[in-house]
Amino acid sequence: MFAADLTNKQQKKRPNEPAGGGGDGGAGEVPAFLHEEARRRYLNYALSVITSRALPDVRDGLKPVQRRILFGMYHDHHLTHEAKFQKSAKVVGTVMGQYHPHGDSAIYEALVRMAQEFSLRYPLVDGHGNFGSLDGDSAAAMRYTECRLQPLASELLVELKKKTVGYRPTYDGSLFEPIVIPSRVPQLLMNGATGIAVGMATN
């Protein structure tokens, strides 16, 4: 059993204060069993990884990073399949700064995978440049490659303007992002999904 000190350890006890802490601050310690606290915190961490990063949502078949990339390309850069290609670095910067506060390399890897014909049966991103090969060659740096949406991805996103899905605040509360994409095609059945979370995985 351990106790979590909720008060400043440097603060001294006032004279005549009851043994339990008393005063207007309540008890200074909250008892908890170590095994219960460890289980609760591990479960919270696992759920956070599962829902926020690692596994796709069955409704649109996309992981959060994939959804944010497609949404950023469509909403912020207007990169439909009929638009001109734009630098991948520009898309990655937008996604990282506005929607997905993680490393740029992880975002770019997700973008590259959505453009590879050997990774997805129906690619969602139209890549221009070196996006790797089946032999294991890695893609060129994001400053050299360009991208836009495939026609299939446009079908996944076109109904966003009809407000058929809910939105939630982004990580810093400055913008809003869709909870899921209003897919008009069964993306999960068409492309499948892979992901490794905490205590769970899918393939």
Active site residue 74: no
97: Cβ contacts below 8 Å, ≥ 6 apart: none
Q: Which of 42, 45, 122, 144 is labelled catalytic?
A: 144
CA atoms of 122 and 102, how far apart (whole Å): 26
175: Cβ contacts below 8 Å, ≥ 6 apart: 98, 99, 169
How is the chain classified by DSSP, letter by letter? -EEEE-S-TTPPPPTT--TT--TTT--SEEEE-HHHHHHHHHHHHHHHHIIIIIS-BTTTTB-HHHHHHHHIIIIIS---TTSPPEEHHHHHHHHHHHT--S-HHHHHHHHHHHH-TTT-SS-SEEEES----TTSPPPPPTTT-EEEE-HHHHHHHGGGGGT-S-EEE-TTSSSEEESS---SS-HHHHH---EE-SS-EE-
Catalytic residues: 144
